[in-house]
């Protein structure tokens, strides 16, 4: 099915994801007019220098005025307030979405801030790097990656049309699209994204403490696995602070399960149960191969990230 470009796209927040949305929409001709607003004046000035948008207003209401699709790419905890600030400019029938990694709390905040007559459809492109800021984005970021949309309960046929329209937009940017319940999304992402980041932050923090004891050897002799943890732990601290606080119930649930499994692994090491260790390592290697087979990673060196850290 062919996709008709969005006449006017407004992106609110211009970090890695927001700038990549704008660049990808331009490159794929998925939007005819692109408007970008960021609360930081320095970021707005940089957007103008980079020429990423047709318009870069200094006011969020003006940024979303007449927009057919508004995508909020602000830090997760700021999306509700950003939506509230821009809401007086929403035109009837506009699609209101976001790119946050938590869907339950953010979806509720956007719905509460939005007037009647617009279609709130929370979204999450599962793509990114450890870089941030308007210069970090690139149009290929979403190619072959999943974007999850979490439609809210509605018996309005026009809402279903809006969901299909937003799905078509993300596909035009190269993404694969999946529809999912918000609560289920938050639990799945707690496993696949949030807990791994929490572990990475903790391991790198522990290594930083040990660095003083080991007189520089921890960093000097870091192997590939540790270096990959440092890449993850270099992600935007504000965004990840927000993610853990907004999705705390799911994160704590999965963290509890992880701690139980870690204790079992500790016992296997203590008691020399090599068969249990080998069985676990065999199963986890199969998972890695499955991710590669699914096209969400490659088996190439440098952990498959051969394009701007993807």
β-pairing, 95-98 vs 119-120, is parallel
CA atoms within 13 A on the CB side of 197: 20
- Are residues 105 and 199 both part of a single domain? no
Residue 292 inside a domain? The answer is no
Q: Whole-prediction pTM value?
A: 0.84
Residue 252 inside a domain? The answer is yes
In sequence order, the β-bridge partners of residue 37 are 12
- Are residues 174 and 251 both part of a single domain? no
- Are residues 213 and 176 both part of a single domain? no
User: In terms of residue numbers, what domain contains 143?
Assistant: 6-180
Residue 195 inside a domain? The answer is yes
- Are residues 21 and 143 both part of a single domain? yes
Domain end call among 154, 180, 206: 180
Residue 215 has pLDDT above 70, yes or no: no
The DSSP secondary structure of 78-131, one letter per residue, reads: GHHHHHHHHGGGPPTT-EEEE--S--HHHHHHHHHHSPTTSEE--EEE----S-
pLDDT tens digit sequence for 90-148: 999 999 999 999 999 999 999 999 999 999 999 999 987 778 889 999 999 999 999 99
- Are residues 67 and 215 both part of a single domain? no
- Tell me what percent of the residues of the chain surpass a pLDDT of 90: 68
Residue 93 inside a domain? The answer is yes
pLDDT tens digit sequence for 151-183: 999 999 999 999 999 999 999 999 999 999 999
- Are residues 154 and 197 both part of a single domain? no
| CATH label of the domain that carries residue 18 | 3.40.50.720
Q: Which residues are CB-contacts of 64 (< 8 A; sequence separation ≥ 6)?
A: 10, 12, 35, 37, 70, 86, 89, 90, 94
**What is the Cα–Cα distance from 147 to 144, expressed in whole angstroms?**
10
- Are residues 11 and 121 both part of a single domain? yes
- Are residues 23 and 166 both part of a single domain? yes
Per-residue confidence at 47, pLDDT binned at 50, 70, 90? Answer: very high
Residue 39 has pLDDT above 60, yes or no: yes
**Residue 1: what pLDDT?**
55
**Residue 129: what pLDDT?**
77
Residue 287 inside a domain? The answer is no
- Are residues 114 and 160 both part of a single domain? yes
Residue 302 inside a domain? The answer is no
User: What is the mean pLDDT of the segment spanning 33-48?
Assistant: 97
- Tell me what percent of the residues of the chain surpass a pLDDT of 70: 88
| CATH label of the domain that carries residue 244 | 1.10.3660.10
Length of the chain counted residue by residue: 310
Domain end call among 153, 180, 207: 180
**What is the Cα–Cα distance from 305 to 310, expressed in whole angstroms?**
5
Q: What three-state secondary structure class fits 185?
A: helix
Residue 250 inside a domain? The answer is yes
Give the residue carrying structure tokens 């960021």: 38
Residue 248 has pLDDT above 90, yes or no: yes
**Residue 286: what pLDDT?**
79
Domains held by the chain: number:
2
Residue 298 inside a domain? The answer is no
Q: What is the mean pLDDT of the chain?
A: 89
- Are residues 34 and 46 both part of a single domain? yes
Domain end call among 180, 200, 221: 180
- Are residues 94 and 13 both part of a single domain? yes
pLDDT tens digit sequence for 51-65: 999 999 999 999 999
Residue 269 has pLDDT above 80, yes or no: yes
- Are residues 21 and 150 both part of a single domain? yes
């Amino acid at each position: 099915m062919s996709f008709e470009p969005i006449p006017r796209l407004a992106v609110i927040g211009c970090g890695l994801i927001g700038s990549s949305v704008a660049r990808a929409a331009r490159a794929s001709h998925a939007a005819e007019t692109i408007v970008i607003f960021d609360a930081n004046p320095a970021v707005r000035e940089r957007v103008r220098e980079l020429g990423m948008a047709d318009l870069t207003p200094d006011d969020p209401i003006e940024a979303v005025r007449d927009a057919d699709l508004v995508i909020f790419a602000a830090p997760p905890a700021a999306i509700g307030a950003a939506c509230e600030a821009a809401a007086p400019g929403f035109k009837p029938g506009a699609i209101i979405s976001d790119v946050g990694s938590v869907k339950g709390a953010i979806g509720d905040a956007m719905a509460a801030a939005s007037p009647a007559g617009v279609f709130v459809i929370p979204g999450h492109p599962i793509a990114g790097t450890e870089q941030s800021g308007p210069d970090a984005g690139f149009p290929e970021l979403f190619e072959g990656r999943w974007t999850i949309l979490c439609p809210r309960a509605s018996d309005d046929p026009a809402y279903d049309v809006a969901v299909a329209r937003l799905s078509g937009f993300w596909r035009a940017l190269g993404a694969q699209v999946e529809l999912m319940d918000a609560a289920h999304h938050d639990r799945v992402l707690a496993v696949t994204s949030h807990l791994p980041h929490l572990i990475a932050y903790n391991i790198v923090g522990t290594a930083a403490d040990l660095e003083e004891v080991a007189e520089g050897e921890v960093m000097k002799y870091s192997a590939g696995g540790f270096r990959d943890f440092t890449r993850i732990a270099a992600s935007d601290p504000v965004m990840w602070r927000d993610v853990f606080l907004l999705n705390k119930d799911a994160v704590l649930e999965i963290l509890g399960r992880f701690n139980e499994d870690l204790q079992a692994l500790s016992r296997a090491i203590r008691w020399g149960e090599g068969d249990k260790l080998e069985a676990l390592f065999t199963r986890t290697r199969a998972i890695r191969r499955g991710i590669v087979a699914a096209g969400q990673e490659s088996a190439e060196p440098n952990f498959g990230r051969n394009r701007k850290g993807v």
